[in-house]
Amino acid sequence: MFLLLFLLCSGSEKGAREIRGTGPGTIRFSGFDWSAVTSGPRSIPPGPNQFSGSRENVWVDKQGRLHLKITCSDGQWKCAGVILRGAVAHGRYCFKVSTNLDELNEYVVAGMFLYRDDHNEADIEFSRWGNPLAEAGQYALQPYDRDGNVHRFSMEDAGERSTHIIDWKPESVSFLSHSGHGEFYGRIGFAGRTGSAPGSSQQLISSWTYRGQDIPAGNRVRLMINLWLYRGTPPPDLKEAELIIESVSVMSN
């Protein structure tokens, strides 16, 4: 089985990768300093998986876009993630994505989230969690298995360019996703109405506001982006996966 896996996935893309940083282990992206998640030979959560900070897995291209890539080399699958340096505060976190998230393999998970610990976490995730018939989008508060902590939605019509927002306040966490990268008026403080800006082709994908007991506490929270394999399971098609983030912006409340 190992030999077969090696033969099928050994053709991972090789090439120049640029990691822009202000110091060792630092990635400079979208005006912020980030650290790559690195596990060495160990498998760690989520998954568990091996995470690599190499130029094959994490890089910034000449257009200033962040790339996270799941790779397979010598039969070993490696995932990718970055953490914004320093704790974050209540505010609005906006992720502009240049990947068709609906086309990710059902075992691939793309996450953009606020994290303090396993019970203080607000997630935007894109995965079918091993079920090819499931919807690809999910907003979640941890623990995810508490009633009312998950909102799932379809990404079928989102296309290759989409925008996703977490609006974190002491009393609520609101989420919004829309197609495209331009200005959008939605339900979480965007001029108090839904729909795209005049003349725009952007459309609302989903929105949800959570006011339950599992809003992340307001200190020691970190901002993270990752791309990983559900249960550490290689995708059935044995294809590598890539997530491209055009930009991340932060606006304080």
Q: Which pLDDT tens digit goes with each residue over 132-187?
A: 999 999 999 999 999 999 999 999 989 999 999 999 999 999 999 999 998 665 54
3-state secondary structure the chain: CHHHHHHHHCCCCCCCCCCCCCCCCEEEECCEEEEECCCCCCCECCCCEEECCCCCCEEECCCCCEEEEEEEECCEEEEEEEEECCCECCEEEEEEECCCHHHCCCCEEEEEEEEEECCEEEEEEECCCCCCCCCCEEEEECCCCCCCCEEEECCCCCCCCEEEEEEEECCEEEEEEEECCCCECCCCCCCCCCCECCCCCCCEEEEEEECCCCCCCCCCEEEEEEEEEHHHCCCCCCCCEEEEEEEEEEEEC
Q: Compute the distance between CA of residue 164 and CA of residue 253 in angstroms, rounded to an integer.
A: 17
The domains of the chain are located at: 2-171+211-252
User: Is a pLDDT exceeding 50 seen at residue 100?
Assistant: yes
For 82-106, what is the mean pLDDT?
97
Residue 192: left if φ>0, alpha if ψ -120 to 50, beta else—which one? left
Q: Give the per-residue pLDDT at 186.
A: 52
For 9-19, what is the mean pLDDT?
42
Residues 6+ apart with CB under 8 A from 145: none
Lowest average pLDDT, out of 40-49, 187-196, 237-246, goes to 187-196
- Give yes or no for a contact between 216 and 58, defined as CB atoms under 8 angstroms apart: no
Q: What percent of the chain has pLDDT over 90?
A: 77
Q: Give the per-residue pLDDT at 200.
A: 52
Residues 6+ apart with CB under 8 A from 91: 167, 168, 250, 251, 252, 253
Instruction: Tell me the pLDDT of the chain averaged across its residues.
Output: 87
Q: Give the per-residue pLDDT at 74.
A: 87
Q: Determine the longest span between alpha carbons in the chain, in angstroms.
A: 57
Q: Compute the distance between CA of residue 172 and CA of residue 167 in angstroms, rounded to an integer.
A: 8
- Torsion angles phi and psi, residue 16, rounded to 5: -65, 135
User: Is a pLDDT exceeding 80 seen at residue 2?
Assistant: no
User: Is a pLDDT exceeding 80 seen at residue 124?
Assistant: yes
Confidence of residue 22 (pLDDT cuts 50, 70, 90): very low
Q: Give the per-residue pLDDT at 5.
A: 36
pTM score, whole prediction: 0.87
Distances (CA, A) of 196 to 36, 91, 101, 222: 35, 22, 21, 30
Q: Is the peptide bond before 216 cis (omega within 30 degrees of 0)?
A: no
CATH of domain 2-171+211-252: 2.60.120.200
Q: Give the per-residue pLDDT at 167.
A: 97
Tokens read off for 1 = 């089985």
Confidence of residue 80 (pLDDT cuts 50, 70, 90): very high
Confidence of residue 6 (pLDDT cuts 50, 70, 90): very low
